[in-house]
Amino acid sequence: MAQTDPEASLRPNAKDAKPPEAAVISAPELAEEAVAETGSDAGLRAWIEAFRPRALQAGIREDVFDDAMRKVRYDPEVIRRDRNQSEFTKTIWDYLETATSDLRIANGKAALAGQRDTLSRIEEKFGVEKEIVTAIWGLESAYGTFRGTDHVLSSLATLAYDARRSAFFEGELLGVLNILQDGDTTPEEMTGSWAGAMGHTQFMPSSYLAHAVDFTGDGKRDIWGDDPADALASTAAYLKHFGWTAGQPWGVEVSLPDDFDYMQASRDITMLPSVWAERGVKPQAGGSIPDHAEASILLPGGAQGAAFMIFPNFAVIERYNSADAYVIGVGHLADRIGGKGPIVADWPRGDRALTYDERIELQTRLTALGFDTQKIDAKVGPLTINAVRAFQKARGLVPDGYASLRLLERLREG
């Protein structure tokens, strides 16, 4: 859905959820006629006819399929959004200004207060802190006020019919049909985002099937209605499944010593906080960081930006969305809702984010110079950061792994 409100959902570069094994089927090649007619209602109807026997073979009843697909329509806006999502280019500081704005923090405190009893019982049952669950709720749907108005069946059918990621979205469409067959909701009530994420905390259908819970005990796993209890509990269940550790922070902002070895700022290098402290890494807020677990140092804005000591819970939030900006947004919003202060360090605010084409160019040039990024996909993840760091070290630059425009210009020089 189009987001115009500053409190709207924020999902940068979301990682595709993997459909559960029960929802995965091997789709035979579509008839040439159906493929040739992509981009229209007529083409989608032809695709649905070809999809129907596969869905029935996967266990969907005829009446459920026919009722669900009767009002499905091709949505060109969904395709436009899918094609343009790779152009998401916000710096982390710009993203955080919205994700952890004063308004979102205030609304988060109010939302937690309004659902305190429910969130406390969820925390007790699943061992996931109520502030983290509230923060995800805040970033995914602005605490339930922007749950999405797109017709999920039409969105997923359009994306499954489209050639770009048809197998993934066909699995998600089967997931929706299974949800309807279970009776948790109706086709009319099943609304969400343009890509099929649904409800208060924006579950993809496969994640819903694998992790949603009936916390209210009414016999339905209702993540769509006005009562957020099932959605919030489902989010906690999801995080618990992927290894959330109660009492362990997602991360802590730290200061680095003047002689810090930036080659140590890698997700691959982990030490106990006490060992990092021996090397001069200290919390910005003062005091010391308990040895919750081994942690690594993350520099999302390079040597001139804030530094974070991140723990295994950081990777758990990544299962919800793999973008570092999102994980930091959730973690910091949770901290602020819980009464902690803002990020202390500033950012390199004179920089702008690289465009999609520039990120492709950066990866291509790095790889050509022998600093292999493994993939040319415009995603500046750990592999690309490691390649950037290796290039910086070879050229006598500060090896902070920061993919800036200055770095790209240096790469262009060879």
- The residues that are catalytic are 140
The answer to whether residues 234 and 212 touch, using CB atoms and an 8 Å cutoff, is: yes
Quote the CA–CA distance of 151 and 322 in Å, as a whole number: 25
The answer to whether residues 297 and 389 touch, using CB atoms and an 8 Å cutoff, is: no
3-class state of residue 295 by DSSP: strand
Q: Which helix (H) or strand (E) holds 128?
A: none
Structure tokens at 309: 């000591």
DSSP secondary structure, 35-72, as one string: HHT-SSHHHHHHHHHHHHHHHHHTT--HHHHHHHHTT-
Quote the CA–CA distance of 334 and 340 in Å, as a whole number: 9
Quote the CA–CA distance of 193 and 78 in Å, as a whole number: 9
Quote the CA–CA distance of 100 and 104 in Å, as a whole number: 6
Taking CA atoms, 130 is separated from 37, 121, 122, in Å, by: 48, 9, 7
Amino acid at position 221, single letter: R
Taking CA atoms, 111 is separated from 50, 216, 320, 336, in Å, by: 45, 18, 21, 13
Taking CA atoms, 84 is separated from 78, 109, 352, in Å, by: 10, 34, 19
Count Cα atoms within 13 angstroms, Cβ side, for 92: 26
Quote the CA–CA distance of 335 and 355 in Å, as a whole number: 31
Sequence-ordered alpha helix ranges (H) in 129-250: 130-141, 152-161, 166-182, 205-211, 229-241
Give the DSSP letter of residue 88.
Answer: -
The answer to whether residues 201 and 234 touch, using CB atoms and an 8 Å cutoff, is: yes
Give the DSSP letter of residue 86.
Answer: G
Sequence-ordered alpha helix ranges (H) in 100-165: 102-114, 116-126, 130-141, 152-161
